[in-house]
Amino acid sequence: MDSHLCIRIQPAIALLLICSSCGGKSPTSTNHMRPTTFRPAYSNPLWSSDGTTLFFNHIPLDSVYEYPPGSGQILQAFNHDLEGFWSVDTSGQIMRRIYGQGLDSPVLSRDGTSVLYSAGGQIWRTAFAGDSLDPGSTTKMTNSTDGAFNPSLSWNGDRLLYDVGLGTNPGVYICSAAGGPARRVGDPGWYYPDWMPGDTAFAFVGYWPQVTGIGAADTNGISRTLLRTEAIYPRASPDGLRIAFLSHPSLGGGNQLWVMNRDGSQAQQLTTEGSMAGFSWSPDGRQIAYVRFDAVDHSYVNGTIWIIDLATLQKRQVTFNTPP
């Protein structure tokens, strides 16, 4: 009998459980679905270069259920046969799978013709062929002995930033987008690099005295400035005037989506229902696509893709989990 990975949701903490046949009365038990850790069904939404389409990772959520009945143990079951990289237009219509596997830390090339991502400790690029990704076009962009993660492509498309978390020389590195040697431009403990428009500086997450925060530095790693503490995952707006990021408004609270000026001033909280890393700006800088996620929310709306309008703060749901 196969073992299933399950999770019990309690008010303040999620406890991981391993059990056999924990989905015995699940409606998924006859369709090769497996309960797994509580997780979002969608992640890493990316805007197309023309602003009409979102690309994202997706594992269809088949059901959320309590087992055994009355136990308070909440389980999820996913259809792993349909796991992959998907697309949907920004109105939420015409959703389809365009690649047969999910992509780690994906970013779209500036011209919209390919996707960069992490796999096997290196950065790779796969090109579009029509409306789908072409596996035969995949090329390796890095050859780091210590690994390469979290790619960020310069706005002119010529250079690549990535981070290395382990090994003898961890930090942020820069190299040509065509491949070749890389040089370190960020200290150990720097990660999540993101190019600022103009390609003369980048934002990053780093360790400052006793705190974790978002900083900015030039492409030599000099002129570093702390922009905000207790914040992660910076993403610069297309006009370079603002930076979106994740932070938690209270001790023990979940991450929320925020935005601030490029210099760290006038920070504004955008969400209250939870958000996760992997959000992205629309090409015109007026909207952000993100995954609404709270680790202890087991409703079907949790873990879906939303779009927020930065001017009005109105949110609309783009993707859905359909109850059985």
Contact 60, 78 (CB under 8 A): yes
Is residue 23 pLDDT above 50, yes or no? no
Q: Where are the domains of the chain?
A: 108-269
- 225-245 pLDDT, tens per residue? 999 999 999 999 999 999 999
pLDDT band at residue 8 using 50, 70 and 90 as cut-offs: very low
Q: What gap in Å lies between CA 261 and CA 263, rounded to an integer? A: 5
Question: Concatenated DSSP letters for 198-248?
Answer: TSSEEEEEEEETTEEEEEEEETTS-S-EEEEES-EEEEE-TTSSEEEEEE-
Is residue 28 pLDDT above 50, yes or no? no
- Neighbouring CB atoms inside 10 A of 1's CB total 5
Tokens of 227: 């922009």
Q: What gap in Å lies between CA 317 and CA 189, rounded to an integer? A: 35
How much is the pTM?
Answer: 0.88
Q: What gap in Å lies between CA 257 and CA 272, rounded to an integer? A: 8
Return the CATH superfamily for domain 108-269. TolB, C-terminal domain (2.120.10.30)
Q: Which of these ranges, 22-26, 177-181, 294-298, has the smallest mean pLDDT? A: 22-26
Q: Mean of the per-residue pLDDT values for the chain?
A: 88
Rg (CA), the chain: 20
pLDDT band at residue 19 using 50, 70 and 90 as cut-offs: very low
- 302-311 pLDDT, tens per residue? 999 999 999 9
- Which residues pair with residue 201 across a beta bridge? 218
Of the chain, the end-to-end C-alpha distance in Å amounts to 25
Nearest to 193 by CA among 212, 177, 174: 174
Contact 38, 302 (CB under 8 A): no
Tokens of 171: 């930090």
The length of the chain is 324
Phi, psi at 80, each rounded to 5°: -70, -15
∠ at Cα 30 (87, 19), nearest 5°? 95
pLDDT band at residue 180 using 50, 70 and 90 as cut-offs: confident
284-322 core/surface letters (b: 16 or more CB in 10 A; e: else): ebebbbbbbbbbebbebebbbbbbbebeeeebeebbebe
